[in-house]
Amino acid sequence: MPGIASAFYRVLFASLALAPFLRRSPSPLRRTKSSVLLAMLGGAFFAGDIGFFNSSVLQTSASSATFLANNAPLVVALLTWAITRKLPSRRFWLAFAISLAGATLIVAVDKHLVNASFSADLMAVAASVCFACYLVVTERLRGVFSTTRLLAVSSASSAAVLFLCAVLTRTSLRIPGFFPFLALVGLGCVCQVVGYFCLTYALGHLPATVSSITMLAVAPLTAVIAFILFSERLTGLQILGNGLVLTGVWIISQRDSNTALAATSPPAL
């Protein structure tokens, strides 16, 4: 399926799964028209993230696209500086440098990396920028919306944006069979509802800079899962890279108690 189509069904099925919980979730604390529009903007950024990433994966290797899309922590740091005029700590930059070096080693052995098309590279980088914007917006809105309500609004907005993109680009939304349909339901219910419910909840308690680096642990976790399910073996460089990524995640998680995020809501965007 085209990348836009699979991305559309991912957020569409997630929106349908979240709809029954909207009435049961706690009411937003200080919801305003501007905050709702900002939540929809966050959904548009997320639509760009998965739309660009899914499309780039079809034109290059998964590891190449993942590596280029893993620059979100850098964009988050720059956005945080632009909003607060305060750069992240040295701990952040150290953790980011070590994790990025690890991610580089993980994909260095991919022979398709050097053959990736330039357009696919650009789409993967655009995905990282969109995801960083989504993280920053979601962090700012967690003091206004409950986790379930914010995820539902952003997912519905993502579905609307991706549907419009599919119409404008004349992308087919046909699902080619029953098993692809089940895969799309899995993307929506497992990756989007469960995974991004946890991420949205975490952004109410952790800065986006910390969350973005922690998510770099996706690479070593994927390697472990692939080894268990498909018996994929890792080279020495990839094992070293996985260790570096986890080291970076450990460093950013060792925050001093006096620098922990306060319980109050984050500043307005």
Each residue's pLDDT tens digit, 3-60: 999 999 999 999 999 988 776 655 554 567 788 888 899 999 999 999 998 888 787 6
pLDDT at 262: 43
Asked, for residue 47, whether it belongs to a domain, the answer is yes
Asked, for residue 105, whether it belongs to a domain, the answer is no
Number of domains in the chain: 1
Domain encompassing residue 48: 3-22+31-91+112-206
Which positions ≥6 away from 100 have C-beta within 8 Å?
70, 71, 216, 248
210-231: average pLDDT: 75
Asked, for residue 158, whether it belongs to a domain, the answer is yes
Q: What is the share, in percent, of the chain residues with pLDDT greater than 70?
A: 76
pLDDT at 78 over 80: no
- Cα three-residue angle 223-61-158, rounded to 5 degrees: 90
pLDDT at 124: 81
Asked, for residue 211, whether it belongs to a domain, the answer is no
Asked, for residue 99, whether it belongs to a domain, the answer is no
Asked, for residue 107, whether it belongs to a domain, the answer is no
Condensed to tens digits (0 to 9), the pLDDT of residues 88-130 reads 777 778 887 887 788 777 766 554 444 556 677 788 888 888 9
Asked, for residue 190, whether it belongs to a domain, the answer is yes
Condensed to tens digits (0 to 9), the pLDDT of residues 244-255 reads 888 877 787 775
Phi, psi torsion values for 85, nearest 5 degrees: 60, 30
What six digits make up the tokens of 111? 């022979």
Q: What is the share, in percent, of the chain residues with pLDDT greater than 90?
A: 26
Which positions ≥6 away from 130 have C-beta within 8 Å?
45, 46, 47, 48, 49, 52
- Reference 135, options 216, 34, 207; nearest CA is 207
Asked, for residue 55, whether it belongs to a domain, the answer is yes
Tell me the average pLDDT of the chain.
Answer: 79
